[in-house]
Chain A
């Protein structure tokens, strides 16, 4: 859907009025008071009520029914009016939702999509298993039909937020007699039921945002099997593309063009700055106009340059994609590059801070240093989760370059 300039302006006008009327005073930009939880909820409810948490989804499923241009206007106006934009879980909006729109039947869409939009259900992703990491299609969790239900047995691992989740979208084996890719189904079920055991996994960073989940005769309604029986691998791959697209929209992917064009005001361009270089100045002594350690300076400039180029490539790829067209295999490139870049950034921050960055806990270290250091440890997982960098390279070689198996 394209939108003409005049109808876009009308939309902007109407939206501005709606925001003025519905954004709680404490959420308005520059408000002195912090919003209470009730006010935050009211803001989310009003926002989601218009479908704005999933602006491009059709209205009949709780979406906003907006065009790409209108969505851009929405982001601009909310950024101008409110101190934050209400968001709901990405598992629903950016991963599960798009594949339901593409593969689910009408009944499934009606049941699940509006709840995703309103953030009513916390979703988690049941993909990896202890024996199936990069070789995801070898997964063993079984689903056996019994009447109107499937009985599920097995275990999932690296399940982000499973301990907070209400429902799971899960890859299960529904046929063991066929090649591994052909016996997988994509099914949705409730996590709050007997037979589900969840244990968080402490990571090297000290956080436990991943869990291992065990299923013992857990029940899933047969009507919640999405797509065709044993046709789940296609959906699984599609969802991974959406996931990669989300993961690659990292720090490098800011949209500089998002600010509203200024009228009359002589917009003085901000001098470009490097956050890493500024940080280096704070930690290293005796720095002149140029950072005094040329090798370190070059690592910083290489990072900044690559991050600029990645941002431009992402923007270009977005412009190339026709409206309604989902992410292609090139998302692997962005996932690969964004995660490797973030790891580099974290490594540079460690180098810059030296011993100040070696603290694990306690008052002897500044909170920001402790935070960054945990972040460095966490960043090591960037090139493993959502498909390792090596898997992304395989995908590019096969799907983009067409290299033979």
Chain B
């Protein structure tokens, strides 16, 4: 098993880094935030990224995809982490598109995936109902109705929900919140009557929404996968999204770490560079170790998913736990070492700290994944 990038992946990394530095640097996110942009990202730029093939990375060529793996997507996401590019990779490509590609009927795939690959269609997975991540804590009901189902319930923290063309809603066809059985996924047009989507403002200036479902009527052809067996599909999707998010966290950590080391080499106090102080040197070296460990485990988790290796879920949890802890360490230490300037809105460190916290708490934080890792190791 290889833990270094292939030549093609190196090339993709360079292209992504160059493109994002030019078109979506951190100032891009700041502008979108300051002008209270209704979308939260540039649809035109998303189309350009799609034209570069990024939106279709994991999908079959028949739908306009590149037929590559999560490892490639991770390369792009790591670069997005470095510039805080707020683009809908996680919501549309990994989660929404991933569910459709894995469980959709031919008709569903045909209807959705070409638009995703072209950058025209935005998807959102509406699963979460509680603050802290808890995969099966779902009470939203799907009651049988004539010709299909009626969905009722409330979803929170739906990534890119406010601009999604289609929602994929996880609802209960049986059982109660917490049960693994009885979950079913539905493909819902966001404009369907009774579907009320409200954008929520989060610390990272990114795009999440609250979705109120009041008896939303869907046909039986809206079901994705098997009725009642949605948990399998969710587990798979969470693993893939968690590994992808780990790659973004690695990008954030690497960027903040490098910026902090540069700052230590330029900022003077007491007549010397602050990088000469051993108290800071040792902490910088500690950060270096954590960033290195994170890079290796994040890459291995993505590869394991692509190769469908046994024990992959355990590795994904290892990656998310480590990458979350590292991002938390590096953004907090980075801010501290920048001193007062780090506390200002003008300095970009704070933007990284905010995005890192959202990514850390999304799909299970380090404590959640350590617990899962232990369970999957048999203790």
Q: Which A residues have a C-beta under 8 Å from some C-beta of B?
A: 257, 269, 271-274, 277-278, 280-281, 290-291, 297-298, 300-302, 304-306, 308-310, 312-313, 315-316, 319-320, 330, 333, 336-337, 390, 392-394, 396-398, 400-405
Residue among B296, B367, B379 making CB contact with A291, cutoff 8 Å: B379
Using CB atoms, name the residue of chain A closest to B277: A403
CA of A337 to CA of B322, assembled, Å? 14
Residue among A257, A298, A393, A403 making CB contact with B286, cutoff 8 Å: A393
Using CB atoms, name the residue of chain A closest to B260: A401
B375 touches A290 (CB 8 A): yes
CA of A269 to CA of B312, assembled, Å? 12
Contact flag A305-B379 (CB < 8 Å), given A315-B296, A397-B281, A401-B284: no
Contact flag A397-B297 (CB < 8 Å), given A274-B378, A308-B318, A402-B265: no
- Give A279 Cβ to nearest chain B Cβ, in Å: 10
Cβ of B343 under 8 Å from chain A: no
Using CB atoms, name the residue of chain B closest to A280: B379
A301 touches B292 (CB 8 A): no
| B interface residues, how many (CB within 8 angstroms) | 43
CA of A52 to CA of B12, assembled, Å? 41
Using CB atoms, name the residue of chain A closest to B282: A393
Residues of A within 8 A of B367 (CB): 298
A301 touches B371 (CB 8 A): yes
Task: Tell me the dominant secondary structure on chain B's binding face.
Answer: helix
Contact flag A269-B311 (CB < 8 Å), given A257-B1, A309-B318, A312-B3: yes
A300 touches B379 (CB 8 A): yes
Of A300, A306, A308, A330, most buried by chain B (CB within 10 Å of CB) is A308
Interface residues of B in 330-376 (CB under 8 A from A): 367, 370-371, 373-376
CA of A78 to CA of B374, assembled, Å? 34
A320 touches B4 (CB 8 A): yes
Interface residues of B in 84-128 (CB under 8 A from A): none
A297 touches B379 (CB 8 A): yes
B275 touches A304 (CB 8 A): no
Contact flag A397-B379 (CB < 8 Å), given A312-B3, A403-B276: no
Contact flag A316-B322 (CB < 8 Å), given A274-B377, A308-B297: no
Using CB atoms, name the residue of chain B closest to A336: B289
Residues of B within 8 A of A308 (CB): 297, 315, 318
Q: Mark B280-296, 1 if CB is under 8 A from A, else 0.
A: 01101110110011111
Residues of A within 8 A of B315 (CB): 308
Residues of B within 8 A of A271 (CB): 378
- Give B311 Cβ to nearest chain A Cβ, in Å: 6
Using CB atoms, name the residue of chain A closest to B323: A309
- Give A314 Cβ to nearest chain B Cβ, in Å: 8
- Give B277 Cβ to nearest chain A Cβ, in Å: 9
A313 touches B293 (CB 8 A): yes
CA of A300 to CA of B370, assembled, Å? 10
A304 touches B377 (CB 8 A): yes
Residues of B within 8 A of A404 (CB): 265, 273, 275-276
CA of A313 to CA of B2, assembled, Å? 11
- Give A244 Cβ to nearest chain B Cβ, in Å: 13
Residues of A within 8 A of B300 (CB): 312
Cβ of B314 under 8 Å from chain A: yes
Residues of B within 8 A of A402 (CB): 261, 265
CA of A277 to CA of B371, assembled, Å? 13
A396 touches B311 (CB 8 A): no
A316 touches B3 (CB 8 A): yes
Of A304, A305, A313, A402, most buried by chain B (CB within 10 Å of CB) is A305
Using CB atoms, name the residue of chain A closest to B1: A257
Q: Which 9 residue pairs are nearest across A and B when measured between Cβ atoms? A: A277-B379, A316-B3, A397-B281, A269-B310, A396-B285, A312-B296, A309-B293, A393-B285, A301-B374
Interface residues of B in 1-27 (CB under 8 A from A): 1-4
25 A-B pairs with CB atoms under 8 Å apart are A257-B1, A271-B378, A277-B378, A291-B374, A304-B374, A305-B321, A305-B370, A305-B373, A308-B318, A309-B293, A309-B297, A312-B293, A312-B297, A313-B292, A316-B3, A316-B299, A319-B3, A333-B289, A393-B281, A397-B284, A401-B284, A401-B288, A402-B261, A403-B265, A404-B275
- Give B286 Cβ to nearest chain A Cβ, in Å: 7
CA of A119 to CA of B356, assembled, Å? 53
- Give A308 Cβ to nearest chain B Cβ, in Å: 6
- Give B50 Cβ to nearest chain A Cβ, in Å: 31
B378 touches A272 (CB 8 A): yes
CA of A305 to CA of B369, assembled, Å? 10
CA of A112 to CA of B373, assembled, Å? 49
Cβ of B146 under 8 Å from chain A: no
